Structure 1
């Protein structure tokens, strides 16, 4: 009986340590701030800027597509910066975005593509893939 209890504790301890190890399998998500964005650019990271508004139906349609792409292991090194169209007007102007539902892809400091109002999963995935082109 004690041996079984000991084995149970050993198994529980090994599972606990395994579960405590963070697994980087999802893209990093951040609220846009200039310092973090510039730091990601300096490091040559893959970046997706998502300019959206809470009231925008197109943005709502884009969200599950972006969420799905963010969860793919191939995009674990992608950084997604969320820009609020209504409260971050200066940032919106800086990116020369004319409307919400604008997605802008970067490889480091180089813009690799952008889309506005796109809700096609394949073309949004292609936009994200453009960040990998070196």
Structure 2
């Protein structure tokens, strides 16, 4: 490759890298998440696995709370630990039984391995 072609190619690459794309749409964490965040409702993303005993203990507690009483407006999204690896990467989740809490579209807290009903309720209250 001649020197002039090399320099123009490197210049074009550097220009593209430093300026980047004009607009990039962020990919939604899970389907429906962006709409819930835009509506201003608290959002819970619950990462579970069918073989996880802690997850199975969490599910009825979360189901009883979310959508009822003080948590009537909260939106919950279930993520399967075994099959939704892209979502796990977006959320930087490394283990099942993880609950990630969002308020106004921003993560405010996360909980891993908690199955005590009082602790789960206190955790969810952080988004109210």
Q: TM-score, normalised by structure 1?
A: 0.70
Give the 3-state SS of the residue equivalent to 1:99 in structure 2.
coil
> Cα offset for 1:39?
1.5
Aligned pair count reads 101
User: Which runs of 5 or more structure 2 residues have no equivalent in the other structure?
Assistant: 1-27
Q: TM-score, normalised by structure 2?
A: 0.73
Would you identify which runs of 4 or more consecutive aligned residues in structure 1 move more than 6 Å? none
Aligned-residue RMSD, C-alpha: 1.6
> Cα offset for 1:82?
0.4
Q: Which moved more, 1:67-76 or 1:123-132?
A: 67-76
Task: Write the deviation string for residues 69-108 of structure 1: whole angstroms up to 9, x where unpaired.
Answer: 1253221101000001111000011111110000011112
Which structure: greater helix fraction? Answer: 1
Alignment counterpart, residue 115 of structure 1, candidates 102, 105, 111: 111
Give the 3-state SS of the residue equivalent to 1:119 in structure 2.
coil
Higher Rg: 2
Alignment counterpart, residue 92 of structure 2, candidates 70, 76, 96: 96
